[in-house]
């Protein structure tokens, strides 16, 4: 989307009207002998007005449909550099963090402000461990949560619990059996949890993270 000051847009529109119309007026009424009919001038005026009308409608549609990226308090680039620096200088398990994938997840309870969570997934070049760094981009005082060789379910749960307003739903996948070809058949269930259960899960998650780090 082109973003210009209103005065700039006014000047552009004014010039786009006056210059072409001036040229048409000069050619049809002064240069040509005998002068051409005024029909050429007004036809060109209608064409210019129609063009600007179409352009304005396109810009309006783009503005209404374009989803602006919500602002965050921590620049993802700075958060990434911080995570790499932290891992490299970690006292217990230092390593060179090679980031292979970077995503920002907005998580939280439906109907409440969503928390932007940066998820950096990669590996350590020295120990070749799978590393996941999870950072709350809306909390400048938050520390990086590190997971080593963690499952996707573990990563997703950590991201969910880092939200300011964690969702009260937990989705579980279980193997119900096998199909005719011997492949496992997965069933997905979602259950509600109380705030007390959420707090207990969060405490357990923080304790697990502390033990890993």
Pair 106, 116: CB distance under 8 Å: yes
For residue 138, what are the contacts with CB-CB under 8 A and spacing of at least 6? 72, 73, 74, 115, 116, 164
CA pair distance 43, 48, nearest whole angstrom? 9
Q: Which pLDDT belongs to residue 62? A: 75
Pick the more confident residue, 157 or 59.
157
Q: Which pLDDT belongs to residue 99? A: 94
172 sits in which H/E element? strand 169-178
Digit-coded pLDDT (tens) for 87-101: 999 888 899 999 999
Beta partners for residue 190, in sequence order: 171
Q: Which among 102, 59, 106 is positioned nearest to 83, based on CA atoms?
A: 102
Digit-coded pLDDT (tens) for 22-47: 888 888 878 887 888 888 888 888 88
């Amino acid at each position: 989307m082109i973003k210009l000051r209103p005065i700039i847009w006014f000047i552009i529109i004014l010039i786009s009207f006056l210059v072409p119309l001036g040229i048409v007026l000069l050619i049809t009424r002064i240069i040509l002998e005998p002068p051409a009919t005024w029909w050429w001038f007004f036809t060109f005026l209608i064409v210019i007005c129609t063009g600007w009308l179409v352009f304005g409608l396109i810009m309006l549609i783009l503005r209404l449909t374009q989803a602006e990226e919500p602002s965050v308090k921590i620049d993802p680039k700075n958060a990434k550099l911080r995570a790499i620096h932290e891992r490299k200088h970690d006292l217990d398990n230092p390593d060179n963090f090679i980031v292979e994938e970077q995503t920002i997840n907005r998580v939280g309870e439906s109907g409440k402000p969503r928390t932007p969570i940066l998820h950096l997934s990669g590996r350590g070049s020295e120990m070749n461990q799978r590393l996941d760094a999870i950072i709350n981009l809306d909390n400048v005082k938050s520390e990086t949560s590190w997971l080593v060789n963690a499952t996707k379910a573990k990563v997703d749960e950590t991201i969910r619990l880092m939200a300011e307003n964690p969702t009260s739903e937990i989705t579980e996948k279980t193997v119900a059996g096998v199909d005719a070809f011997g492949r496992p058949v997965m069933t997905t269930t979602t259950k509600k949890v109380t705030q007390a259960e959420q707090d207990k899960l969060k405490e357990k998650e923080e304790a697990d993270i502390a033990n890993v780090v």
